[in-house]
Amino acid sequence: MEERKVWEALLKDPQRSYDAQCKKILSLKKILAYLYKECLSEYRDLSLKEIYDRLDTDPTSNKMVSQNVEDLKIPDSKVCYDLLFKLAHPKDPKRRLWIDMEPQGIDPGKDVLYHRGFYYVCRLIDGQRNDPQGFTGDAYADMHKVISFWICLRHPRYKDNKLYRYYVEENRITGKGKTKRRGKDTMEVLILYPRRRYRYDFY
């Protein structure tokens, strides 16, 4: 009965229904395995089956379970992540990947997703401190990589099939010496604009 009431409420609100369906699709391991292989460098060298097997500790389920989607650490600044997965790092058993999946119905333009994505990864890093799957106290070197992955489904045609990656990178301003590639393994924002098979006038 309760489940029926939930679905009735969703059907009365098309936007909520749309969001709920997007979350269901992006919880499927087969969908996530394909996206991670094509879009995340950590999984690029693994087969789809290897990725699928690493996604969750429950091999009997074909879906992932999102966790801790509400961030209430800052008063009056609640953040609700659509889907949040905390996975074992495929290349470093001592680390984890915190991946925030954000399906976006319409492209808001003006770099809104870029700025919002970086705000989300900063909040995720802040949320790691003293989290059971984060780091303890001042052990900042033990923080885990965070990724905010945005999939924009309705966008201008010129953005079709484009994937953008944003991250922090060290650049030497003065002096000599080799520049280390720090930062790339700390936070990352991905924005994917998949091609729409059937297009309508949008822009």
The per-residue pLDDT for 107 is 86
User: At which residue do the structure tokens 């996206």 appear?
Assistant: 35
User: Which of these, 10, 191, 195, lies nearest to 102 by C-alpha position?
Assistant: 191
Q: Say if residues 19 and 82 touch (Cβ distance below 8 Å).
A: yes
In the predicted model, what is the mean pLDDT of residues 160-182? 82
The per-residue pLDDT for 203 is 43
Q: To which H or E segment does residue 154 belong?
A: strand 145-154
| Token couple for 95 | 């680390």
In the predicted model, what is the mean pLDDT of residues 43-63? 87
In the predicted model, what is the mean pLDDT of residues 120-149? 93
How is the beta sheet containing 96-106 ordered, strand by strand?
A: 83-88, 96-106, 145-154, 187-193, 162-167
Q: Say if residues 97 and 42 touch (Cβ distance below 8 Å).
A: yes
Amino acid at 90: P
Q: Say if residues 160 and 196 touch (Cβ distance below 8 Å).
A: yes
How far is 39 from 129, CA to CA, in rounded Å? 27
Percentage, residues of the chain above pLDDT 90: 47
When mean pLDDT is compared over 4-18, 67-81, 124-138, the highest value belongs to 124-138
User: Residue 9 pLDDT > 50, yes or no?
Assistant: yes
Query: pLDDT digits over 99-121, tens only?
Result: 999 998 888 888 889 999 999 99
Residue 179 binned pLDDT confidence (cut-offs 50, 70, 90): low
The per-residue pLDDT for 102 is 94
Q: Say if residues 159 and 106 touch (Cβ distance below 8 Å).
A: no
Give helix 2-12 / helix 14-25 axis angle, nearest 10°. Answer: 120
pTM: 0.84
